[in-house]
Amino acid sequence: MNGIVYTGTGGRFAAVGNNGAVLTSTDSVSWLPALFTSSTGNLNAVTYGNSRLVAVGDAGKIVTSTDGGIMWTASYVPDVNVNLNAVAFGNNKFVAVGDNGIVLTSVNGTVWEKVTRKTTDNSNLNLNGITFGGGMFVAVGASGIVVTSPDSSKAAEKIIGSNVILNGVAFGNSVFMAAGDGGKVFSTSDLGKTWKLETTGATAKLNGIVFNPGQNRFIAAGESGEIIMSYAVPNIPRVLGLTPGNDETDVGITDNLVLTFNQPVIAASGAITIFKAADLATPVELIPVDDSSVKVDPDTNTVTISPSLDFVESTKYVVTIDENAFINESEYGNSAIAAGEWSFTTIAGPADETAPTVSEYSPDQGEAGVATNAKLTLTFSEGVTTDSGNILIYDSADEGNLMVIPVNSENVTVKDNVVTIVPYEDFKYSTTYFVNIDDGAFKDLAENSNSYTGISDKETWQFTTAEAPDTAPPVVSDFS
């Protein structure tokens, strides 16, 4: 037998195979052949939906049954004579796929339409398996092709492993897993956007894969009796959609952030953190998930975040979300969204062509009595970050005696518009110093990164340290 399906609680199992074979069972133990089938060719797969069974097979064979698999009726699809390898039901529609990349759709399983796919280098690759889950059809096939579509009419396709033939795909707990030749299994938890190669230890060809909800595991079977089982895949809240989308551009400066989950969630603990991409060390805003600006809608499975600050035009932002920030009714929490997984760029504004300038020095320009262990700070006219170059601290009386501090060293820290410099060693007493900074050592956070012009003279930032403390004990200078 080549395919099997269960029609649901109180229903039947139906299995299909070569030469039009159809077996049915109410208990999975005793099996009876169908009383009639109008197909004599091989049947490769079967599914159930809209109170009917639909099986597909070689040479475009399609048969349907509305009585649990006892009586079957053939359907004829004009100009379709290639092998149909798999069929699935979802969104009130049947979708069948097969050789040469063929895709057929039907509402009732009887009248079928051929889907015209966008012509690409991959559009004629055989499609061997299909499933429906999370509001999405996913089909897999030769050369590692994966085709995803919410309704089979608009599809996206990608190659996830060009050296593998994928033969089956299954869905469970918001995860798709695809199995193929050489024991290869790939998984995705973001509706097919990214796929990960799993470690299976298997080498045999895997012909099919299913999800066992009782164990929260996927089971794949193949040649030479190969049967493998996945790790447990818990029913955790998974993010299915981000608004703005990852890497989206032209985002409004007052737009909210929206997460769409696979199930209802509630806020637990943790935070949503917003950064400018140019400075991932300094959050623009940190929003606790239980803050009033975070709205959870259990009806739409969405979380809407309303930042208190407007975004800056022409700026790339990064958003992170803590692990277990949102939980489901079983108290399973979400996986973290790390830096690099959610970023976007705001709509362009007037170009920032103004370089940052220093508005305050510490020690102040020309200041005397500076402590020998003093830190140096610069307050800029706007937020900055380090680029490349050095800070040079000279002894005015001996300019060959200087400290060279790279701006990207741990002795230089930046917070917003304040730069703090920690010298390698204490200054000498009663000594005048001046500071130079390389042109381009710091830059602002604008998209075009305007650079600070630096300091190259002896007068701009000069200061003198305090006198050495008087440590001599008093002596008597006169007796009377």
Least-confidence region, from 33-37, 94-98, 151-155? 151-155
Residue 472 has pLDDT above 90, yes or no: no
Q: 144 by DSSP, 3-state: which? A: helix
Which pLDDT does position 478 carry in this prediction?
A: 80
All domains of the chain in start order, with CATH: 3-229 (2.120.10.80), 239-346 (2.60.40.1220), 358-465 (2.60.40.1220)
**Between 151 and 307, the higher pLDDT residue:** 307
What confidence tens digit (pLDDT) does each residue in 16-55 have? 989 888 999 888 888 888 865 555 689 999 999 999 999 9
Q: Taking 60 as the threshold, does the pLDDT of residue 195 lie above it?
A: yes
Q: 115 CB contacts (<8 Å, ≥6 apart)? A: 103, 104, 105, 152, 153
Question: Which of the four pLDDT bands, split at 50, 70 and 90, describes residue 272?
Answer: very high
**3-class SS letters over 366-413:** CEEEECCCCCEEEEECCCEEECCCEEEEEECCEEEEEEEEECCCCCEE
The 10s digit of each residue's pLDDT in 114-130 is: 988 776 777 789 999 99
* Rounded CA separation 160/176 (Å): 13
